[in-house]
Amino acid sequence: QVQLVESGGGLVQAGGSLRLSCTASGRTFSTYAMGWFRQAPGKERRLVIAIDRHGSSTDYEDSVKDRFTISRDNAKNTVYLQMISLKPEDTAVYYCAANRLGLIRTGWYDYHYWGQGTQVTVSS
């Protein structure tokens, strides 16, 4: 069973930056597509940004365009989410997720492995 361990969340003021990390166990990380989801209280879990196994990324929320960047280091089994110019509406629990077939999908149900979630709180 693959485990994903996240780190890097916290409290930041509006306009600040955070970098989230997600490290996977096992030897097949390089074949996975990886996504970062977020879930605010009372809202559904939604895909924010994803990266395929070759390193090509796609934004899935217009609100994060030019502010969030996803990257991966296959040698370290790690995917990153760099967030800049944070806004209070970015406040949520952030989850990394892996699709073991290497496919980027927008539905949470299409991802096979999940991190435990990390809280990001942006104060105004």
Name the phi and psi angles at 5, rounded to 5.
-120, 120
Over the stretch 97-109, which tens digit does the pLDDT of each residue have? 999 999 999 999 9
Supply 19's token pair. Answer: 């970098």
Closest C-alpha among 124, 43, 67, 60 to residue 97: 60
Over the stretch 5-51, which tens digit does the pLDDT of each residue have? 999 999 999 999 999 999 999 899 999 999 999 999 999 999 999 99
Over the stretch 64-113, which tens digit does the pLDDT of each residue have? 999 999 999 999 999 999 999 999 999 999 999 999 999 999 999 999 99
Overall residue count recorded for the chain in this entry: 124
Report the Cα 95 to chain-centroid distance in Å.
Answer: 6
